[in-house]
Structures are given as C-alpha cells and as structure tokens.
Amino acid sequence: MCGITGFIDFKKNSEETTLRAMTNQLEHRGPDDLGLFYKTIDQACIGLGQRRLAILDLSQKGHQPMTFKNWILVYNGEIYNFKEIAKDLQELGHFFESGSDTEVILKSFDQWGTQAVDKFIGMFAFVLYNQETNQIYVFRDRAGVKPLFYSIRDGLFLFSSELKSFHQHPKFCKEINFNSLSLFLQYNYIPTPHSIFKDTYKLAPGHYLQINLNNQDISTNKYWSVEDCYNKPKLDIGYTQACDELEKLMINAFSYRMISDVPVGAFLSGGYDSTAVLAILQSQYSEKIKTFTIGYKEQKYNEAKYAKQIAKYIGTDHHEKIISPADAKGILSKLPYIYDEPFSDNSVVPTLLVSQFARTKVKVVLSGDAGDEIFGGYDKFNRSISLTKYPSLIQSFLSGTMRLINPEHIPILNKSYNFATRYEKLHEIWKYKDYAYAIKVISQFITESEAKRFLTMPVQEQKTYFDISGALNSTNDPLNKLLAIDYKTFLLDNNLAKIDRATMSIGLEGREPFLDHRIIEFVSRLPGNYKIRNGSNKQILKDIVHRYVPKEMMDRPKIPFLAPLTEWFSNELKDFYYDYINEERIKKDGIFTSDIVKLRDSFFSGNINNQKLWNILVFQLWKEKWL
C-alpha cells in the first residue's frame, strides 16, 4: 500500500524538486520508502513519485518506481492473486527478482497489455509509462477502493492518491467548483467524477486513462463496471445453493486478504458484516486474529459490548477503547488535512480513532465495508421502493395536498425535528414516482433547493452515478437497480474514501474483503428477494453468518457506526459552530448566505438535525486549511 503522484507537463516547466515535494506530501501513506522518476523528452517532462508502505517483500527489491524493459510503474494497492499470475508468467518464460506484486503487474502488462488488468484480484491505482510507445496508462480498480485524482489544465496533467499533492505544484489552480460544493452539501461527499476544484476529477472505478505523449490525446476507457454485472442474466439457482456458493466465494476472497508479510488485524463492530469477515477467517486460522472496536459512554451509539461478545464466541484477540468528546476535539483540527476534499460522514471521527487504535498493534486491517451495499442492508432501499408503490391516484392526492401546506406556517410541524426537509423530499419522490430517483432524494441531507439557497453563487445540476438507472436493463428488479446505484455512489465516494484516508493517514493498510469483484459478480445475478427476504434486509448474508454464530447472538436492531455528534456539538463542542458559522465570517468569505447562521440557530433550538450544520462546519474547516 502506498501513495502515488506525478505529472506530465507538455510545456516542460515542472521541476524534479516539485515532484519530490508532491511525493513527500504523501509520506503518511508510505513512511517506509521514497522513489522518484523524472525525465524530459521532446514532448514533455514526466514525473512519477511514490511513497511506500511495505507490506509484501519488505526488502529494497520492492522499491518503486519499478522498471522492466521499457515499462516504468508507480503503484498503490495489492494484487492478492499475484503468486498465481507469476506462475503463469514463469511458464511463459518470465523470471522474477522479487516477491512483490509490483513486479507481477509490470510483467503482466509486458505480456498481455491492458488486458492484464482482467487477471488482477485486488485493489489498485497505478500509472504505467511505456518509454518505447510514448503511452501512459492510469488505472483504478473495479470498485474504486484505491483513490486516484487527476487535473488537466493548460498543458499540465497531474495525478495523485490525494488532492494535497497538487497544492505543491505552482501551476495548480485552487479555484472552487461551486457545482461540486453544492453536491457536497447535499450528500456529505462529492460524487465521482467531480472534485471540489475546477478542472480536477476522480478517475471512475473500473476505468483507465490512456495518454498519448506524441499528440497529447487523453482518452478514457472502461474495462469493468458494476452495471455490466447486474445486466447479465440472473442465475437459475435455489436459495440454499446460492448461500452455499456465496459462502465458498467469501472463504476464498477473505483468505486472500490475509496475505501479508506484516501483522494483519480487523475492525469488529459486532454487526453482520464485520462478524462475517472475522467468523469465516477465524474458522480458517489457528492463530487468534487481532480485532479492534471503539465504544461510547452514550449507550444508544455503543456497539462495543456486542463486539466483545462476538469476539469471545469466535475466539479473536480482542481490543476495545471507549472514546469521549475530548478525543473528538483532538481529531477535528486534523480532519481538513486528512480529508483534503470536503467530507462529512458522521462516522469519520470514530473511523479515524479506531484506525489509530489498530495501528498500535498491526500494519494491515480488514473491515466489513460493502456488506450493506451488496446485500441490501440499508433501510433506504426499502423506503425508496415502498414510497413509490402507492397507487397513482393516492400519490397525486397526497402530493397535491402537501403542495397546499407550508410547514413554516404550522407551528407544530415547524417544531418537528427536520420536518421541512422531510416534507420537501417526500413531495419530490411522489412528484416523479421513480424508485431510482427516490434513493437519490433520500440520500440527500441537504436538498438541492436548500443548497442553492445556502450558496451565494449560482450552481447547475451535475450528472452523477445516481443517474445510471437507465443503463440497468429489465433483468434487474427494483432492489437490484438500487444496489447498483449505491455501489457507485455511497459506497464509492463515502465509505471507501472514509476508510482509505482514515487508515492511510497513519500508515495503516485497509482491506475490504467484500469488495473482491467475484463476490459482486455473483451476488448481482441473484434476485432481489434473496437479499431482502420476507422483510429482512441482507438475509442471504445473515443466513451464512448464522452457520458460524448463533442467530440469537446476532438478532438485534442495527446500530449505525456513528459518533454522537449532536450531543457533543450541543455541549462540549458547540463553540466550533459559533466560531466558524457567524455573520462576520460568512460575510467576509462570500461563499454562503446568511441562511446558514439561521441554520445554526435552528440546530441549537432543536428544529434541524446536526448533519446539515456539520456539513457547513467541515467545509469551513477545509477552506481555512487549503485556501
């Protein structure tokens, strides 16, 4: 696991000292080694930088940039099946000098070209430069586990694992994209391919850029997409057989994630996803796996007691830490640097704290991320479908009635927690009567109209992966379409971004066993009623877990992995809101309207939820750090 960065400067003004500064900005991702490649050719000057976190082959033989023949590679990630691919390459006449997967990538591309990526099981973002053909390839893995930002402006192409590297280049333009800022306010994150800065983007998962140095042409190519998985014919398979086949896949995929030359542990919340990972893995290993959880004094958020119970039953080496508002306060000042694009998921604070806790014992950690998105764990799937099931006449009547009601004029409604936003969202859902549109609206914490009201600059609606339902064919029932959308939105830009930055901020490699692409390729071909079954969410995963852990131990209400931010910011941390969201500061910045000060006051009077104000605060902290 590493951090990569670099540039292609067609005007040949970028220097090696700039490349070094860009690369060292990622030292937290790779504290073990630094590697640079800088060269000026007729067409451009090229810089490739890498900071290494040594996980496989800890020797200098794994140093990057790594070269083979005319190929030069910088790489972030893990190819878990590298030994099998190496064996195939050896049979074709290749020899290996290291025990690293980096060398396997190089020789795979030399042997098979861009089709080599189809053989990789893993997570990755890498840049390959072919000095003979003058072609550069920029790849991102299928699910988007590993980040890859790029910027194109005035003959300069920049790339990096994190945006903070770009600030080290004197030609990088730090101009806010207000359309993206609007998206952030709505969703807590900025959906791919957009970025907070103009002319800067996230490479879509399952895609690669090909850059022709001879003519400066940059093309985007798809090699895999989750839509293609869902669009395949559904499997003619019984439920029990589906459970059996899925369990076999999970055993194989999870075991791959234990491959390492350094200690491996896992996060354990006590929910079905992390329990599935640990119960299966611990059944395969005699040595106790180290598990980590954090808890709160505020019991409605606290899952630590359940995690401890599960850990004892399956036999892990368990570690627990209880956190407080003081712990959160220490993290807040670090958030803008760690998440160098505005990001305000409610669980970012506990994710950072549990990552720091785990790093004291291990260098690699597994998580249960993606279980909800693959198997249908969120209530938003149920609501998106149920809210659009009303007969048209009933919907029209209710929608028409709601249009006549202004909640601001009815005190009992206006005092109801966040009623105005819920009212507006329900009206939008019934207006369009489309479950794919419904999940887009349900996913918004601040509605699009509210975001426009909060911003001083006009914004335009942006296309995102929330709008891919038209690409999903009729073999998909409503639930499967919603799962495909969530895989490419909330999973990609919220959960995966959250865990990558949190773990890598302290040189901890995060691995997501559920994101082995073979799992989604199988589960996407199962009918929706295998996932949400008789009203029970992610039932197929639950039934597999019950083979390892008794149902009565697992059968309890789902507790989201959240921090008690509402309580904390109402008391110990409330000064943050008054310091960063006040009339004087807002007027000076010229980004937000005075409506957000009213938003602050509404929060303290108990009329809105904390998430709206938290979004604003996170942006203010980010702006103070980077602008």
The CA-based dihedral angle spanning residues 453, 456, 460, 461, taken in that order and rounded to the nearest 10 degrees: -40
Task: Give the Cβ contact number of residue 412 at 10 Å.
Answer: 8
Q: Are 31 and 51 in contact (CB under 8 A)?
A: yes
Q: Which residues of 315-351 are buried (b: 16+ CB within 10 A; e: fewer)?
A: ebebbbbebebebbeebeeebbbbbbbbbbbbbbbbb
Nearest by Cα to 548 from 237, 250, 238: 250
Distance of CA 402 to the CA centre of its chain: 36
Structure tokens at 150: 């790029």
Longest dimension (CA), the chain: 78
Which residues, other chains included, contact 39 with Cβ-Cβ below 8 Å and sequence gap of 6+?
A: 45, 46
Q: How many CA atoms lie within 13 A of 63 on its CB side?
A: 8
- φ, ψ of residue 626 to 5 degrees: the values are -105, -15
Pairing type for strands 135-140 and 207-212 reads: antiparallel
Which residues, other chains included, contact 73 with Cβ-Cβ below 8 Å and sequence gap of 6+?
A: 64, 65, 66, 67, 102, 105, 106, 126, 127, 128, 129
Structure tokens at 376: 């249908």
Pairing type for strands 45-52 and 200-202 reads: unpaired
List the alpha helices (DSSP H) in 195-238. 226-230
d(CA 543, CA 551) in angstroms, rounded, equals: 9
Q: Are 258 and 281 in contact (CB under 8 A)?
A: yes
Q: Are 401 and 571 in contact (CB under 8 A)?
A: no
Q: Which residues are catalytic?
A: 2
Pairing type for strands 45-52 and 2-9 reads: antiparallel
Strand order in the sheet with 290-296: 317-323, 290-296, 264-267, 364-366, 509-511
Q: Which residues of 240-251 are buried (b: 16+ CB within 10 A; e: fewer)?
A: eebbeebbebbe
* 3-class secondary-structure state, position 530: helix
Which residues, other chains included, contact 368 with Cβ-Cβ below 8 Å and sequence gap of 6+?
A: 267, 269, 271, 272, 273, 274, 275, 276, 277, 513, 514
**Where are any strands of DSSP class E within 485-575?**
509-511
The CA-based dihedral angle spanning residues 309, 311, 314, 315, taken in that order and rounded to the nearest 10 degrees: -120
Task: 296-302: list long-range contacts, CB under 8 Å, 24+ apart.
Answer: 296/322, 296/323, 296/563, 296/564, 297/322, 297/324, 298/564, 298/567, 300/559, 300/564, 301/559, 301/562, 301/563, 301/564, 302/559
d(CA 619, CA 545) in angstroms, rounded, equals: 40
